[in-house]
Chain A
């Protein structure tokens, strides 16, 4: 089971709304290498694992990814507050707004909704861990791309934290694989 802690893993406090940034950052919620897929991938793979180290790391990293999707959602929420109709239209946010208003819905930057095909569970410890190692690198590249396109320090700060976590998770999955 899980227990909710009323906090973010790392603070998000963005003063200036920016729907253009929201539309690309949302990919780390509902995109192919986003945090929703990451948590579902690891938590789903746990049940067929033969080794305790792997069950442990998948449970703990999968749980941390839930905290990451909450941070991404907080960023999208804060970037889409108090928008005027003109800002909604001029930023191209109108196409999202017409379906979801300012709710946070899991889609990719390209507007494709989240799909279960973004994750895998093969029931083989080597296949699953290599899937996870690749997933962490793909998420890291997505953060690198976001860091290139954004120049608000209040947005960059939590994105840099999340990018670092991909590197740490890659390291831990690699150690789990070497233990076998």
Chain B
């Protein structure tokens, strides 16, 4: 997968995780939903690992501290700009 495809896949996992958490708000004892939530979180972790092995730190929050001595939170693309996923 190239950089844009990997980012897209990570965002898809984020969406599935969010959707399951809304579902659990009104189905708080649904074991199937909790299993799926664990599965999607694990898949997201794998995708992040694949991204970082090839393209460097995956910057989503200010928790993602870069190791290269540059606060790349500022220089990584901003989500409202064109071609954000390609950046």
Interface residues of A (CB under 8 A from B): 3-15, 53, 56-57, 60-61, 64, 70, 73-74, 77-78, 168-169, 172, 175-176, 179
Q: How large is the interface on B (under 10, 10 to 19, 20 to 34, 35 or more residues)?
A: 20 to 34
Query: Do the beta carbons of A53 and B26 come within 8 Å of each other?
Result: yes
CB of B66 closer than 8 Å to a CB of A:
no
B19:A175 contact, CB within 8 angstroms: no
Please give the residue numbers on chain B whose beta carbons come within 8 Å of chain A beta carbons, in ascending order: 8, 11, 14-15, 18-19, 21-23, 25-28, 59-62, 73, 76, 78-80, 82-85
Contact B79 A60, beta carbon cutoff 8 Å: no
Assembly CA distance A169 to B27 (angstroms): 14
- Give every chain B residue within 8 A of A73 (Cβ-Cβ): 80
For the complex, would chain B's binding face be called helix, strand, loop or mixed by DSSP majority?
loop
Contacts of A176 in B (CB 8 A): 25-26
| Contact, CB under 8 Å: A53 / B25 | yes
Known contacts: A53-B25, A60-B21. The answer to whether A12 contacts B80 by CB under 8 A is: yes
Cα distance A15–B83 when bound, in Å?
A: 9
Smallest distance from the beta carbon of B3 to chain A beta carbons, Å? 14
- Beyond A172-B26, A176-B25, 12 additional pairs, beta carbon < 8 A: A3-B61, A6-B78, A7-B11, A7-B60, A10-B15, A53-B28, A57-B22, A73-B80, A74-B80, A78-B80, A168-B19, A172-B22
Q: Which residues of A contact B82 (CB under 8 A)?
A: 13-15, 78
Docked pose: A77 CA to B26 CA in angstroms: 36
Do residues A13 and B18 form an inter-chain contact, with CB atoms below 8 A?
A: no
Residues of A within 8 A of B8 (CB): 11
Pick the 10 closest A-B CB pairs, nearest first: A74-B80, A175-B26, A56-B25, A57-B25, A8-B79, A5-B60, A7-B79, A77-B80, A172-B22, A176-B26
Q: How far is the CA of A150 from the CA of B81 in the complex (A)?
A: 21
